[in-house]
A and B are shown apart, each in its own frame.
Chain A
Amino acid sequence: MFDAARKTLDLERGIRGYFLLGDIMAVTFIGALVAFLVALIVSPAWPMLLAMPIGMVAGMFLSLIVGMLLFFRYFGAMEVMMPVMLTGMLVGMIIAMAASMADLSLLAVIVMGALIGFWTLISTYCANYLINGRWPL
């Protein structure tokens, strides 16, 4: 009885760890990818007020497509889609803004994209906790 309960608990922990790892991989990868692509395209020649909305919308749709192809089927639909799309929007907007002001180091941009993705994931976890009183794992 005790062994069976312990095995169930271990299995649940394993599944939670799997989804947590998947969520982190998805948002950091997509954050870095969107940041890299936006920084390649947008330059200081772009007007900032144009670059920001274009970066945001392009980031959202790019993140949705990449998320669908690489992550949703392994780690969940809505639970991955929401932080991934938010990541795409935020990273697209912020990096487009920064890239329209100055030339950026691609490495710094990739790290920043991944960090924004991680922050976005934490934010959606907190939103779920505030709405439902539990973490989405």
Chain B
Amino acid sequence: MTHRGEDHLTRQKWDRAARSFDFMTGIGPDRRWEPRKKELFSHMQGKILFLALGTGLDVQFFPPDQDIVAIDISPKMIEAARERVGAYQGDLRALQMDVHQMDFADETFDQVYTSCTFCSVPEPIEGLKALWRVMKPGGELRMFEHTGSQYFPFKQMFDLMNPLSSRAGPSVNRPTVANVEAAGFAVREVRNVYLDIVKTIYAVKE
């Protein structure tokens, strides 16, 4: 399948998910991950790109008075996020854009943030390379991601369920830390949030 074809399918998948996204995610994940997400976003400074806005659930954790551009491949998600984006006390603009085809000039952003994003980008290394392009030299990539596991039996479980989960939503067994390195970033810190499957990643464009 072509790159564009996959992107189209991804957009359709998340357009469909937009209607039930808040219901399915509910309050549990937000409450459970709130301290780690707040800590991650507390590093925000400069011109910031936030990748995969979704319905805007993470906006509540952004510190105020930041200059943020948030993108998402799904127009339905952007629409669902409108109220949360509007309530943010700072400069937050939401744009419908595919990470593989971003309109931004090279070296535009000081920081890029992602939150449970690279489980769903069709070509993760290409997507990360696209982020590398739009970041200034010395720019920071800060991610909150769920990834595959290296431990038994979690690895085997994720490998078993991935063919199904990736059709309806995210892939669950991606080696995101290795992908970040493969895209050219220098990984500075990886901190596990739960087991080794939910983690924060801090990397730099050297």
Contact surface of A with B, Cβ cutoff 8 Å: 15, 19, 22, 57, 60-61, 64, 68, 71-80, 82, 85-86, 89, 124, 127-128, 131-132, 136
Contact = CB atoms under 8 A, between A and B. Distances in A.
Q: Lowest 3 CB-CB distances: which A-B pairs, in order?
A: A73-B26, A76-B32, A76-B28
Interface secondary structure of B, over-half rule? helix
A116 B31 CA distance: 27
Given A76-B32, A86-B157, A136 B194 contact: yes
Contacts of B161: 60-61, 64, 85
A60 B194 contact: no
B197 A78 contact: yes
Most buried by B among A22, A71, A77: A77
Interface stretch (B73-81, B92-100, B107-115, B146-154): B146-154
A74 B23 CA distance: 10
Interface secondary structure of A, over-half rule? helix
A132 B26 contact: no
Contacts, number: 73
B32 A73 contact: no
A80 B194 CA distance: 11
B169 to A, nearest CB: 10
Interface in B133-169: 146, 151, 153-154, 157, 160-161, 164
B105 interface: no
Given A73-B25, A73-B27, A78-B194, A127 B32 contact: no
A75 B24 contact: no
B28 A132 contact: no
B31 A15 contact: yes
B198 A78 contact: yes
B27 A74 contact: yes
B87 interface: no
Contact of A82 (B26, B154, B192): B154
B186 to A, nearest CB: 24
B196 interface: yes
B1 interface: no
A79 B32 contact: yes
A79 B194 contact: yes
Contacts of B29: 72, 76-77
Contact of B23 (A15, A71, A73): A73
B192 A72 contact: no
A131 B192 contact: yes
A4 B31 CA distance: 20
B157 A60 contact: yes
Contacts of A86: 153, 157
Contacts of B194: 78-79, 82, 128, 132, 136
Contact of B24 (A57, A73, A128, A132): A73
Interface string B16-30: 000000011111110
A78 to B, nearest CB: 5
Contacts of B26: 72-74
